[in-house]
Amino acid sequence: MEAERTVAELERFLADRGDQLLRTAVLLAGSREAGEDLLQTGLERLLRHWAAIDGNPEGYLRRTLYHLAADRWRQQCAWRRRLQLLRPGLEAAAADPFSQLDMRDSLVRLLMQLPARQRAVIVARYWEQLSEAESAQALGISVGTVKSSAARGLHKPRELSEASDARDASKARKAREAGSDPRDAADPEPAWGHLT
């Protein structure tokens, strides 16, 4: 009977909080698929420790999500470093072929460039709208660390965005100075044009 009760509680918890937890996982992971995988892994850990959790399991699951995401970020950074050793000229991120990105995509890309702790604090404070104390408790860090990480985490995307804008402006200026405005680059006259 005890096992049935705990399963019912878990199902009720997931029905009530599942969508919000999935949104958090997607933001932490960077894509819907990766977020679903992250949440699934977190739920597996929650299920293993379900009977031992006192009180609200949401804090445990959120902390697990943040820690799993940080582990993945570390693994990805290590993989990128190893990949650069294998291919020295490899660009870290390929340029997006689309000329315009929507605001949400831009914000997620900037968020993904933050260090793990700053990203976790930004998601907890501003996406999940947790207080500084709640964020500190969920992440297992001090309130002071939440404050400093949030300040740095909010400043870094501005720097990255401004640097990107400056690079774009510089490329456009160089193209104008060289007289090679991409809009002016029309196809040359077809080879058969001189036959008419």
The answer to whether the CB of 28 falls within 8 A of the CB of 119 is yes
Q: What is the pLDDT of residue 102?
A: 59
Q: What is the pLDDT of residue 18?
A: 87
Low-confidence ranges of the chain (pLDDT < 70): 1-5, 78-104, 157, 160-161, 164-165, 168, 179-196
Q: What is the pLDDT of residue 79?
A: 65
Q: What is the pLDDT of residue 90?
A: 43
Q: What is the pLDDT of residue 183?
A: 46
Q: What is the pLDDT of residue 89?
A: 46
The answer to whether the CB of 69 falls within 8 A of the CB of 118 is no
